[in-house]
Amino acid sequence: MILAKKQISKKAKRRLTVLTPIAILAVGYLLFTIVTTGIQLYQLNHEEKELKEELKNLKGDYEDLKIESNKLKEKDYIASYARENYSYTKDGEFRIKIKTNEKEKEKTKENLTIKEEYIIYGGVILGILIILYILRKIRKRKKNKHR
């Protein structure tokens, strides 16, 4: 059996050369939009979890503060609180206090989330570029076959 080559008209070729890049750009734009929307959705879900956790902590803090305010009505507790938090001492006492650096730990966590975001965006852009490169190679192969 002999297979005959199909003849493609000039109009069809012209249509293909115009519509193919437009279709590729549209698909690329849609992919980019879907991925960025997914990333935003992931970030919002993550933020919602963090805010719910913070709300839970604040409710716990509120209860603790209520208890603390009741305790502050006692004179003995006020004296021990002042020694503990404001470095007041009785005669003959001295105090040594060691500070921890919580702010630096929080900054490192924020930097990690920003780096993760850049990695995701870079991956999306790289993926789109790879897809465009592959489509370009396929198109060149098809052109070479028709010649």
Three-state DSSP state, 97? coil
Q: Give the separation between CA 131 and CA 26, rounded to whole angstroms.
A: 13
The sign one gets for the Cα dihedral 80, 87, 58, 52 is negative
Has residue 12 been placed in a domain? no
Contacts of 127 (CB under 8 A, 6+ apart): 31
Query: Are both 90 and 129 inside the same structural domain?
Result: no
Structural domain of 54: 37-95
Model pTM? Answer: 0.41
Query: Are both 125 and 81 inside the same structural domain?
Result: no
User: What φ, ψ does residue 74 adopt, rounded to 5°?
Assistant: -95, 135
Q: Which two tokens stand for residue 53?
A: 């956790």
pLDDT digits (tens, 9 = 90+) for 119-141: 778 888 888 899 888 888 888 88
Confidence bin at 147 (pLDDT 50/70/90): low
Has residue 47 been placed in a domain? yes
